[in-house]
């Protein structure tokens, strides 16, 4: 059996990559790569999650196999809600600056191990605010973790994206944007709005936060097209993003493709995650190749390394 080299131990290839030769694996691993769509709370090592859970007395009866079952979502979820349940425990575990620092530094290590030379890690600071942890303290912990990871792995450059949530009030999004702007010179490079499009379809609800972020010099991205088809991707253009996270339905809309090209908007695509969430039925149906053929700017990312049980090398191989 052919194996891909993992961080600690080799693991067997999935059926989607069974025909990939060892030479191709090595080429993909060594090839300098960038990853622009990567969520921190979806990329926690199961071993670390187990340690953090035991330290905090959360789900204390779990072993490593049980932790993996909680953190890795099904390959094809019933709906996006099933996929998002895999984030519940990581968010509970990342309510302390030490945990945010550690998980960020470890993610940088994992990124560097597969030949990625540039990555942007995103997370929602508002999900990590409590009586002991304010917005700025949480952001500072992630910034410090990224710096520590880069110090150990100078071959990789990390930048951070602060995410506001559609389901939160516009006022909360403003606070996120303002806090993120204060870390502009410390590796925080972008502002994003993500979350349930079905209940909160209009990103312009957060127009003030986008304006604050843009004026401060942060790059603008927005999650769109996980629900509602191409119309949701069109709506996202109203906030004048440089990039759109997902945007998958644009693959079936030539007029929208022309708009994306005209406005210079890049789609940060995550094919495996899109299959997992039911946005496309199978990888063969994903529009990545079609978008490339039509000259729409795209990037390739994992979205959530642990939730999708994925590495960037495997995503390229698929």
pLDDT tens digits along 71-83: 999 999 988 788 9
**pLDDT value at 6 more than 50:** no
**Domains of the chain (ranges, CATH numbers):** 13-317 (3.20.20.140)
As a whole number, the mean pLDDT across the chain is: 94
In tens, the pLDDT along 285-307 reads: 999 999 999 999 999 999 999 99
Q: Mark 40-60 as b/e (b = at least 16 C-beta within 10 Å).
A: bbbbbbbebbbebbeeeeebe
The number of residues in the chain equals 318
Residue 164, SS3? strand
Alpha carbon separation from 236 to 125, 177, 205, 231 (Å, rounded): 22, 18, 11, 9
Mean pLDDT of 115-126: 98
Question: What residues act catalytically?
Answer: 226
Residue 13's pLDDT is 53
Q: Which of 307, 255, 300, 248 is nearest to 276 (CA)?
A: 307
Q: For residue 81, how far is the Cα from the chain centroid?
A: 17
Residue 132's pLDDT is 81
Mean pLDDT of 163-186: 98
More confidently predicted of 1 and 201: 201
Could you give the angle at the alpha carbon of 189 between the alpha carbons of 140 and 211, nearest 5°? Answer: 105
In tens, the pLDDT along 33-52 reads: 999 999 999 999 999 999 99
Q: Which of 297, 284, 294, 273 is nearest to 221 (CA)?
A: 297
User: How far apart are the C-alpha atoms of 318 and 309, rounded to whole Å?
Assistant: 13
Mean pLDDT of 127-147: 94
In tens, the pLDDT along 215-262 reads: 999 999 999 999 999 999 999 999 999 999 999 999 999 999 999 999
User: How far apart are the C-alpha atoms of 77 and 60, rounded to whole Å?
Assistant: 26
Instruction: Give the global pTM.
Output: 0.94
Is 72 in contact with 85 (CB distance < 8 Å)?
no
Per-residue confidence band for 16, with pLDDT thresholds at 50, 70 and 90? confident
């Amino acid at each position: 059996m052919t194996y891909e080299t993992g961080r600690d131990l080799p693991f067997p290839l999935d059926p989607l990559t069974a025909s990939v030769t060892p030479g191709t694996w090595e080429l993909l691993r060594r090839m300098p790569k960038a990853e622009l769509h990567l969520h921190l709370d979806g990329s926690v090592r199961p071993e670390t999650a187990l340690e953090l859970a035991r330290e905090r007395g959360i789900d204390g009866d779990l072993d490593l196999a049980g932790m993996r079952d909680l953190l890795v979502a099904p390959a094809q979820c019933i709906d996006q809600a099933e996929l998002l349940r895999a984030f519940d425990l990581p968010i509970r575990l990342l309510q302390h600056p030490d945990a945010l620092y550690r998980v960020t530094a470890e993610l940088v290590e994992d990124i560097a191990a597969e030949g990625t030379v540039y990555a942007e890690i995103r997370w929602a600071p508002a999900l990590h605010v409590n009586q002991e942890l304010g917005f700025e303290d949480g952001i500072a912990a992630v910034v410090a973790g990224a710096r520590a990871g880069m110090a150990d792995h100078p071959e990789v450059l990390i930048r951070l994206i602060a995410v506001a949530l559609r389901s939160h009030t516009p006022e909360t999004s403003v606070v996120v944007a303002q806090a993120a702007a204060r870390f502009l010179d410390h590796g925080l490079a972008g502002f994003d709005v993500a979350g349930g499009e079905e209940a909160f379809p209009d990103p312009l609800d957060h127009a003030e936060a986008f304006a604050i972020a843009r004026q401060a010099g942060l790059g603008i991205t927005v999650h769109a097209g996980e629900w509602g088809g191409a119309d949701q991707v069109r709506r996202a253009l109203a906030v004048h993003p440089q990039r759109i996270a997902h945007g998958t339905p644009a693959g079936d809309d030539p007029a929208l493709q022309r708009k994306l090209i005209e406005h210079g908007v890049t789609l940060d695509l995550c094919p495996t995650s899109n299959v997992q969430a039911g946005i496309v039925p199978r990888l063969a149906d994903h529009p990545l190749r079609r978008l490339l053929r039509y000259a729409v700017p795209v990037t390739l990312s994992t979205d959530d390394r642990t939730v999708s049980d994925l590495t960037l090398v495997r995503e390229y191989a698929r």
